[in-house]
Amino acid sequence: MPNTPTKALAPWLGVIADDYTGASDVAGTLVNAGMRVVQTFGVPDPAMQLHDVDCIVVSLKTRSLPAAEAVDQSRAAAHALSSRGVRQLYFKYCSTFDSTSEGNIGPVADALRSEFVPDGQITVVAPGTPALGRTVYNGVLFAGTDLLQESSMRHHPLTPMTDSNVLRLLQAQTATPVGSVGYSSIEAGVAAVRSRFQNLSAKAGYAVVDTLNDGHLAVLGAAVLDHPLVTGGSGLVGGLAAARGISGQPEPAPASRPTGPAAVIAGSCSEMTNVQIDTFRRLRPCFVVDPAIIAAGQNVVAEALQFARENIPDGPILIHSTATPEEVARTQKQLGKARAAEITESSLSTIAEGLVASGCRQLIVAGGETSGAVVRRLGITTARVGREVSPGVPWLATETSPGLSILLKSGNLGTPELFLDAWDHNR
């Protein structure tokens, strides 16, 4: 009897991420759970071929857009994923709930709920990601041992977080009532969580869930297995994968890391990125991109590329605009917040383009806004996700730029030695 071709199964999970580094974070979590993952940059075209994948992660750059634009792009991503047969949508935002009082987490979640969630069903809000030190207790978000509002996130240049209460943060962004599921219900197991969901659904549309450890994620994953829409940080996707038994499947073959010149582009001003730069500069050369100097007319981009030509043959180099919160405030006062950001992103992405054109084959990009600008400038639309070098930080093998691997790092993630150690990581 002739072999009958097996029909490819549709990806069961489709993720809509509100920035590029957050998308890589959730993609790395899924790969660790044994899934085959493709990350797209922007809404995937219907003609785009995405074969042999369990999950599609759509990277958007909507975190700091006007709410109406963020809603339109997120809705388009959801429809693109649904048309490919995904059975569950996951709206992924940062584990520190980065947003302004107007959104965009609430408006996007509301738009997706209105189309994909049946009346009377609760939608989970789960920023907690214990592997990254982000936990939620009684609805209050912690970064490590600090309240969110007392962490370095209070100094974020675009979305400073000055409140730690997730219920209050979300309720300011939506007219839909917000409730909570405490750790005691989660400790009691899946049935108790589902019972709490049922009780809440009579008076609320959202449920902020406590998350103190990976065991809580496993319970929550099983409890929302049949929910068409889930929202959260990267942690809960691991719970969903475990609940579906994905972890028992063979691990996907990791994407191979190419050899060749290597560089870091850092635009994040986070505390950890500053530490990573200080660690790197003790051993390898660095070049600083100052937006104020660029605004004054100096050709810093050309100088940076000349620096790269002189130093990259000897090993990885770093080009960065990272500064202290005080320095950032001075630059924003001088140029204006929007102008300073535009100059920085444009310059760093132009430098990245020049590096790749000159033969750079391994590129780390630090910072969500910078990552978005670099990926767009390089014209990358899809990538296969490889193994993490640190929680939330995987290498991506780009499919639109063969031979180029890129690592997109959220500002606060990674170890102090990441910029030095990532190149030798065995994926």
Those residues whose C-beta lies under 8 Å from the C-beta of residue 326, and which sit 6 or more positions away, are: none
Give the per-residue pLDDT at 427: 36
For each of the domains in the chain, give its residue range(s) and CATH number, in order of start.
13-248 (3.40.50.10840), 262-424 (3.40.980.20)
pLDDT for the residue 9: 67
Side chain identity, residue 104: N
User: Do residues 361 and 260 touch, judged by C-beta distance below 8 A?
Assistant: yes
Percent of the chain at pLDDT > 70 equals: 90
Burial of 10 per CB tally in 10 Å (0-12, 13-18, 19+): middle
pLDDT score for 2: 41
Cα separation of 14 and 9, whole Å? Answer: 14
Q: H helices of 269-363, where?
A: 271-281, 291-295, 300-311, 325-335, 337-357
Tell me how far apart the alpha carbons of residues 371 and 410 are, in angstroms, rounded to a whole number. Answer: 9
Taking the C-alpha atoms of residue 218 and residue 374, their distance in angstroms, rounded to an integer, is 35
β-strand 37-41 against 55-59: which pairing, if any? Answer: parallel
Residue 163 pLDDT: 76
Q: What pLDDT was estimated at residue 395?
A: 92
Q: Are 212 and 140 in contact (CB under 8 A)?
A: no
According to DSSP, residue 211 is labeled: B
Q: Which residues contact 315 (CB under 8 A, 6 or more apart)?
A: 262, 284
pLDDT lower than 70: segments of the chain: 1-9, 148, 152-159, 161-162, 246-258, 324-325, 424-427
Taking only the tens place, the pLDDT of each residue in 384-394 is 998 888 888 99
Q: What is residue 171's predicted lDDT score, i.e. its pLDDT?
A: 95
According to the model, what pLDDT value does residue 249 have?
44
